[in-house]
Amino acid sequence: MTVIPIGPKQCEKARRYLDSYISSELTVETNHDVLKHLEICKECSQILQDLLLIRNRLRKAVNREVVPAALRERVQRSMRQQHTGMKAQSWSRWALAAAAALIMCLGGWGTLHLWRLSQRTRTGTSLQADLPAFITNQTASLLKIGVGDHVHCVVEHHDDREQSTSEQMAKELGPDYYGLVALVDEQLPKNYSVSVAHQCDVNGRRFVHLIFKNQQNVLSLVITRKGNEGFPIADRIAGMNPRGPGLYQGQVEGYDAVGFETKAYLAFVVSSLDKNANFQIASSLAPAVNTFLTHLEI
Amino acid sequence: MAFGNGIKLQDFESVALPHFDDLYRTAARVLGDRSEAEDLVQEAYLQAWKSFHRFEAGTNCRAWLFKILFHVIHHHRRKWFNIKLIKESDAILEEVLTYEPPIPEHITDEDILLALDKVPEEFREVLLLSDVQEFSYKEIADTLQIPMGTVMSRLSRGRKVLRTQLGELAPNIQVRTAEGGEHRL
């Protein structure tokens, strides 16, 4: 402990600390030193008293100022008006978005309806499934892997090519996965086609990524090697083709994702379509992609 | 958007309105004009409400509101008064830095407020935030977007100018000197 003794230099030192002392901003040690000096120095103690007197009088004088009651009401009223404006703005945005979505859904429904008819003709079965209202966190976190790659390449436009050539796809996918392009093209609704196919790295994970689109929508087929992960059986969608893989569906970060797994891979179909439309496309791709990936594992 | 996040105006009002009087009183003293203070406090509350979705629950709402208030005040001031303020504070500092005036014994609230009005604005802001609103140096530095060292020096100078102004405002009242004696100026 260093006590600041009496004397012109010591008083000068103590007075330098007085502002911080009355603001309670000194360290415990310095505070103690100042206090000890004040106990034995009448002059410095008087200066402190003056500082405290002015501070207390200032606080009292400022806080005596009467706040106009009408001002508080005026401020609350203007906040309510702004709130109402935000609501109206928000509702009008929602209304516009809903109208746009309705138009797109009607268009999409027409397309899908025609495609479903062609599927029925092709497989002789109708695709019916009970899509879940809720999924576990485990499924959500797995679906997020696929959504993350879709967002990285499609939404954030890290690969914004309109159309890759077959040579580019072959080169960027590599010989093991190039066969997926023709396979996926074959299973897609007629107005969709694979536009880009590549391998990419997102968040330290390697993906095989096929982007396919029609005039309005862009979808991704995202495939990655499995770690220790696996979909929980409880979230498996019931009523699916028993010869195909189990499917898992959910909304993640505003995107619809359908996932499935093989022994060594996780695969996802991700899009901004509504869940039924995305599911229809995913369920038509899954059996063929599942077979393809299973062959790679042999 | 705040509304999109489901934030209710009632939630905002319940955490922000208890500090209304403090904000108004501070604005009125900083600006020296009640009508201007009313407009800027209203503007500060509207801005706070618009950005309330960015406010982290559990953090210091009072400090957050003061930061917005001073942002609004400085934005308003920059438009009109910046050059004048710097000149004014430099001139007053020259006068008071070497002068240790005695403190009037009987000072009224009006005396104090008159003296405060004569303290340059950048010192007055720190004085009000520290000595009236009891913010820490760190909170003041964050509110005014200035370094802690600047807060300390402005506070020290602000207190000194206030003391000088008090002495000059009350030339005929009884004063007490730092040595403890009493005399008339």
Match 């028993």 to its residue by tokens. Answer: A242
Supply the pTM of this predicted model. 0.53
The shortest C-alpha distance from A39 to chain B (Å) reads: 16
Between A97 and A284, whose confidence is greater? Answer: A284
CA-to-CA distance for B78 and B112, rounded, in angstroms?
27
Chain A, nearest residue to B133 by Cα: A59
Chain A, nearest residue to B111 by Cα: A61
**Chain B residues with beta carbon closer than 8 angstroms to that of A46:** 178-180
In degrees rounded to 5, what are phi and psi of residue A246? -65, 135
Q: With 70 as the cut, is the pLDDT of residue B88 above it?
A: no
The DSSP H or E segment spanning A218 is: strand A218-225
CA-to-CA distance for A138 and A250, rounded, in angstroms?
11
What are A's interface residues with B at a Cβ cutoff of 8 A? 19-20, 23, 25, 42-43, 46-47, 50-51, 53-55, 57-65, 67-68, 71-72, 74-76, 78-80, 82-83, 86-87, 90
Q: Do B13 and A76 lie within an 8 Å CB cutoff?
A: yes
Residue B150 pLDDT: 95
Residue B3 pLDDT: 39
The shortest C-alpha distance from B79 to chain A (Å) reads: 24
Residue B146 pLDDT: 94
Predicted complex ipTM: 0.84
**Chain A residues with beta carbon closer than 8 angstroms to that of B32:** none
Q: Within 10 A of B48 (CB to CB), how many other CB atoms are there?
A: 24
Chain A, nearest residue to B164 by Cα: A54
Share of chain B above pLDDT 70, in %: 72
CA-to-CA distance for B102 and B99, rounded, in angstroms?
10
| Among B17, B26, B45, B100, the residue to mutate for chain A (most A Cβ within 10 A) | B45
Q: What is the DSSP letter of A239?
A: T
Q: Where are the beta strands (DSSP E) in A234-273?
A: 248-252, 255-261, 265-271
Q: With 60 as the cut, is the pLDDT of residue B90 above it?
A: no
Written as six digits, the tokens of A193 are: 């086609």
Q: Residue A267 — pLDDT band, cuts 50, 70, 90?
A: very high
Query: Which of B9, B29, B163 is facing A54, going by the closest CB pair?
Result: B163
Tell me the CB-side half-sphere exposure of residue A146, using CA atoms within 13 A: 34
Q: Do B112 and A55 lie within an 8 Å CB cutoff?
A: no
Residue B154 pLDDT: 95
The shortest C-alpha distance from A200 to chain B (Å) reads: 34
Question: What is the arithmetic mean of pLDDT over A157-176?
Answer: 84
Chain A, nearest residue to B14 by Cα: A76
**Can you give chain B as a three-state secondary structure string?**
CCCCCCCCHHHHHHHHHHHHHHHHHHHHHHHCCHHHHHHHHHHHHHHHHHCHHHCCCCCCHHHHHHHHHHHHHHHHHHHHCHHHHHHHHHHHHHHHCCCCCCEECCCCHHHHHHHHHCCCHHHHHHHHHHHHCCCCHHHHHHHHCCCHHHHHHHHHHHHHHHHHHHHHHCCCCEEECCCCCEEEC
Q: Which residues pair with A250 in a beta bridge?
A: A257
| Among B11, B12, B24, B166, the residue to mutate for chain A (most A Cβ within 10 A) | B24
Residue A161 pLDDT: 77
Query: Which of A20, A63, A86 is facing B2, going by the closest CB pair?
Result: A86
Average model confidence (pLDDT) across chain B? 81
pLDDT in tens, A97-138: 777 777 776 776 666 656 655 554 444 344 445 666 678 888
The three-state secondary structure class of A238 is coil
Chain B, nearest residue to A70 by Cα: B38
Q: Do B163 and A23 lie within an 8 Å CB cutoff?
A: no
Query: Which of B12, B103, B159 is facing A19, going by the closest CB pair?
Result: B159
pLDDT in tens, B147-163: 999 999 999 999 999 99
CA-to-CA distance for A4 and A10, rounded, in angstroms?
6
Q: B20-31 vs B109-117: helix axis angle to the nearest 10?
A: 60
